[in-house]
Chains A and B, each alone.
Chain A
């Protein structure tokens, strides 16, 4: 019963090679290779084109957008949108800073919490591993609702409106924990731990000096997930942040999309303040913010990719 969430395929364990099996010689024919390549080229275009489109839009002259619509090949380029975004005050830079800070601190802490939780559960000798596995797993399928959850963070531990509220709720994630647990289980033989014990190393020492370095790929995988989770989050600020200095970049995007819509949607008859509408970011600027928000996460990708596939192979797959 100790493999409560995973499956160990006996055959997989015997011989662990990460090489692709078609290196051996049995290759597919040239024609099918061509068509498979074609399929993937098409698919890649499908994946990239919309992203290219918003980049082009962000660089298109505003008037042209309003009159001729969005196009991959506009007649008139303009960097006005970026100009606007960069000079419209420090709001966007501050939001950017918040996002970076939250992502860095959050990822670091989250990886630590998850690894700490996963490690004892991966140990054969740990008696309560099933209980604690279930304790985590249950949170994936059962929840209590928005308002009570909100209450916890406003009354029990009042971190609403601080940078921590964008970090703490995502620190623990049952699914990542399970991946990490499997990773530990398959990568670290109990014998290594035993021998470390005999050498007089404590559990923490063993964990940091022996276990973690061996599990770099797994840690990188989890770190990537966490980075994405923190960077792309707009829900926590929507619920908890009332101080505009703490808005993150996603939430800022959510807002620019929203406010422009709402101003004109039926309720505007109450507004005499329509003058400010002229100052709001228009189409191009909105797309520019989207482009800017994608930036760092794309750059982070190659950095993690090195370990990512390996991490997934062992963590999620070998279960």
Chain B
């Protein structure tokens, strides 16, 4: 618990209860109402769907009665899911890609932000920043169009324009799994690096100039300043951004993994993640119980990851924890 909280917990209120609070701060509660309602409708009520993952869903009249009347089969659906040889592959893909995105999504933007901040001509720095930010504005659908225009085997720019110019045999991109970890990582970074750079740039520009002034007087070099002032001061931002990403380590970016590889079968071994697999399974077999089981697995493991990483961060530095 931080220092501040001890001060702000106003003692007299402690015993007065909920009703007193409502009376006193009714306006604040009214403000919360729309948000709370939407969270309940959109998020909390559907959570009861988790029950489906323990049942063999068969249709009986309507959805609710179907849930109630469907046979309870315990962990059978999870068994089904884990029995497939793909359970391992897709779990591995999901985690590895996300880890890669988290690490590169931390290092590259921080480096870019620091470098961008050092550029002498501020106007060109602004231009770079704006242009790099552009991909963040495109939907994954548009990005999949872009990827196709580059990697299409017959017409794509890389095969027809680049490789053929150097006399290299065209590469069958959409059928060569080995390239895809790089291609997917590239597009993920392509889309988000600009945005993340702006976040860290904002953080840097918010840093106190006094430190640098003092460092300069002590004769610290630019590199030393970056190493001993900028990076340590950026740490809290890095921790928040990373923690939020870690919480979603079991949830892949559906738009990226579904649209960019164009659902090409040959690539499944490296492009299939939990979300795309579940989506396809739902489409192929309309088995909502199995899909629900996979979703539950994702949610629970995700939950555990967040709480664990938050716990670890708290152990190291209490102030930097997410909650």
Contacts and interface: CB of A to CB of B under 8 A. Distances in A.
Direct contact of A and B (CB under 8 A): yes
Nearest to B143: A50
Nearest to B131: A44
B79 interface: no
A298 B134 CA distance: 8
A1 to B, nearest CB: 4
Contacts of A198: none
A11 B146 CA distance: 44
B71 interface: no
Mostly, the A contact residues are helix
Q: What size tier do the contact residues of chain A reach?
A: 35 or more
A69 interface: yes
A297 B134 CA distance: 10
Of the candidates A2, A141, A319, the one having the most CB atoms from chain B within 10 angstroms of its own CB is A141
Contacts of A134: 323
A175 B244 CA distance: 9
A310 B198 CA distance: 10
B193 to A, nearest CB: 8
Contacts of B147: 50
Interface in A260-313: 283, 286-287, 290, 293-294, 297-298, 301, 305, 308-310, 312-313
Interface stretch (B82-90, B97-105, B113-121, B171-179): B113-121
A2 B4 contact: yes
A36 B36 contact: no
A54 B155 CA distance: 13
A290 B142 CA distance: 6
Q: Report the contact-size class of chain B (Cβ under 8 Å from the partner).
A: 35 or more
Interface in A1-33: 1-9, 11-12, 14-22, 24-28, 32-33
Interface in A192-216: 202-204, 207
8 contacts: A24-B209, A36-B118, A39-B115, A51-B146, A54-B146, A120-B31, A301-B133, A309-B202
A132 B299 CA distance: 20
Contact of B46 (A6, A22, A148): A148
B39 A172 contact: yes
A162 interface: no
B233 interface: yes
B42 interface: yes
B244 A114 contact: no
Contact of A24 (B213, B282, B288): B213
Contacts of B127: 44
B49 to A, nearest CB: 3
B315 to A, nearest CB: 15
A76 to B, nearest CB: 15
Interface in B24-50: 25, 27-29, 31-32, 34-36, 38-39, 41-50
B222 A69 contact: no
Nearest to A311: B202
B285 to A, nearest CB: 14
A51 B134 contact: yes
A27 B225 CA distance: 12
A313 B206 contact: yes
Contacts of A128: 21
A5 B119 contact: no
Interface stretch (A80-88, A89-97, A149-157): A149-157
Contact of A5 (B53, B207, B211, B322): B322
Contact of B35 (A69, A117, A305): A117
Chain B CB within 10 A, most for which of A37, A148, A177, A301: A148
Contact of A148 (B21, B45, B211, B236): B45
A150 to B, nearest CB: 8
A131 to B, nearest CB: 10
B137 A298 contact: yes
Given A22-B118, A72-B161, A145-B50, A7 B41 contact: no
B8 interface: yes
Contacts of B225: 26
- The residue in A41, A146, A204, A253 that gathers the most chain B C-beta atoms within 10 A of its C-beta is A146
B199 A312 contact: yes
B288 A47 contact: no
A177 B247 CA distance: 17
A6 B49 contact: no
A206 to B, nearest CB: 9
